[in-house]
Structure 1
Amino acid sequence: MEAAGAVDNLNELGAAAAEPSLPGPGGGSAKSVWDLLEEAAQMKTEGNAFYREKNIRSAIGRYHRALLVLRSLDSDVMASVKGFGPEKPPLTADQEAVLRNTQVDCYNNLAACLLQRQSVDHGRVLEYSLRVLQWRPGNVKALYRAGVATLEMGDAQAAKQYLSQACREQPNDANVRKYLHKAEERLNQELQKEKAMYRGMFPSSTKDSSGDGMNQNPRAGDGL
């Protein structure tokens, strides 16, 4: 659950980049892009602390708040509401990297939190994991959790695909290998059921009664 190298040097990067400030709500005090990125990073850090304390509800709340702050900076999100508010300055490459890294951590950590609940919403786990995979296709945590979620939702084939990719990225991970084995077992069970169903639909004929009994007691070497 540790952050994946996102925000250690926010203050240094912010001092080096003199970007315009974003208007505050209702025209109030403005916060710079770096201020908002740091605010989101702090909420994520608090969420991590709650998670380690097994306070899953509070951890989820912090991650959601962090993502809400980042939403106003995400060009992908804001493009859909262009023209309905003041234009925001484009992010620098450094700011974009911090934004994405924090989003990836928060969505990954939200998925981890949901898997800790007594009643797991696997659909939501999959949704959060797929958001990470949009930006980080080889992210092992997201691949693993997407595999677990799809397996529990009954799609063993998709689960095998996610978990196989995770296993290629991290072949020694015991949890990945465990769930990949479960997915393969589930697929094998489904295959056996399918074969049994077809056997019931098309029962084999008893004996070939076409005449001279040539197909009875064949010897090795008699050919096909």
Structure 2
Amino acid sequence: MASCSPSAAVELGAVGGVGSKVDAQLQDAVRLKTEGNACYREKRIRAAIGRYHRALLVLRGLDSDVTAAVQGFGPQMPTTTPKQEELLRSTQVDCYNNLAACLLQRECVDYARVQEYSLRVLQWRAGDIKALYRAGVAALELGDAQTARHYLSQASRGQPNDPNVRRYLQRAEERLSSDYQREKALYKGMFAKQKDEAGEGGVDSGVTQK
């Protein structure tokens, strides 16, 4: 079992050369993610968040989406093999997913950040149930019931019996229904007011005095 402390990483490639440097960075990121998972299980949420952020920082220098944007402005960035790219992306996705889970455990939840991290996961791993659920919860708490229903409905299709998904989906539906009724009453009141004003301010139908 991993502990919330530095640990040896599994060897990924041969010693020496650019390939081994990339492997070493990937090993470091995987180690940090594993330590973060251990911290999370130990309820050390702040420490877990720190590990995940450090892992993502290590991976940032290998991410082709990032390196392509800065190509030509500094040293040549190392290229990754398809296998390395797969591990890189998988580790990133896990870290963002786990960061969102950590933030939801905090006393004061930053729902905007939860949504941001969950959407990053969905960008790379469309259909991820946990990310769909967390994106839906965050959207609902941020006041966007329509978007919340969109994500929670997708999560519900993947996990139809999950009580948390069902509960938040029901809350989103209730919020939308409440918003609809409130909007309906508002428009009804506006039309009634316009009708009353038109009746009071109409053309005088009385006899013209000469």
Same-fold status (TM-score > 0.5): yes
The residue aligned with 2:25 is 36
Corresponding residue number in structure 1 for 2:102: 113
**Closer/same/farther in 2, CA of residues 101 and 160 from structure 1, 3 Å limit:** same
Alignment of 1:188-203 (within 5 A): 188-203=177-192
Partner of 2:77: 88
* 1:98 partnered with 2:87: yes
Paired residue for 1:45?
34
- 2: CA distance between counterparts of 1:88 and 1:35? 15
Alignment TM-score, normalising by the size of structure 2: 0.83
- Rounded to whole Å, the distance in 2 between the matches of 1:149 and 1:65 is 24
User: Contact 1:34 / 1:95 at 8 angstroms: preserved in 2?
Assistant: yes
Unaligned runs of 5+ in 1: 1-8, 23-30, 206-224
Q: 1-side partners of 2:100 and 2:177: how far apart? A: 28
Assess if the C-alpha contact under 8 Å between 2:22 and 2:78 holds in 1. Answer: no
Amino acid at match of 1:14: G
CA contact (8 A) 1:130 1:142 kept: yes
Distance 1:59 1:135 in 2: 22
In 2, Cα distance between equivalents of 1:184 and 1:52: 33
Q: Does 1:67 align with 2:66?
A: no
Measure how far apart 1:50 and its partner are.
Answer: 0.8
Partner of 2:68 in structure 1?
79
| Counterpart Cα distance in 2 of 1:87 and 1:177 | 49
Partner SS for 2:73: coil
The runs of 4+ residues in structure 1 deviating greater than 6 Å are none
Q: After superposition, give the CA deviation of every residue in 1:120-164 in whole Å (9 maximum; x if it has no partner).
A: 111110110111111011111111110000000000000000111
**Contact 1:20/1:89, CA 8 A, preserved across alignment:** no
**Is 1:151 aligned to 2:140, yes or no?**
yes
1:137 maps to what in 2? 126
SS of the equivalent of 1:203 reads helix
After TM superposition, give the deviation of residue 112 of structure 1 in Å.
Answer: 0.6
Superposition TM-score, scaled by structure 1 size: 0.78
Quote how far apart the aligned CAs of 1:10 are.
Answer: 5.4
CA distance in 1, matches of 2:16, 2:111: 40
**CA distance, structure 2, for counterparts of residue 20 and residue 133 of structure 1:** 34
**C-alpha RMSD of matched pairs (Å):** 2.1
**Paired letter, 2:78:** P
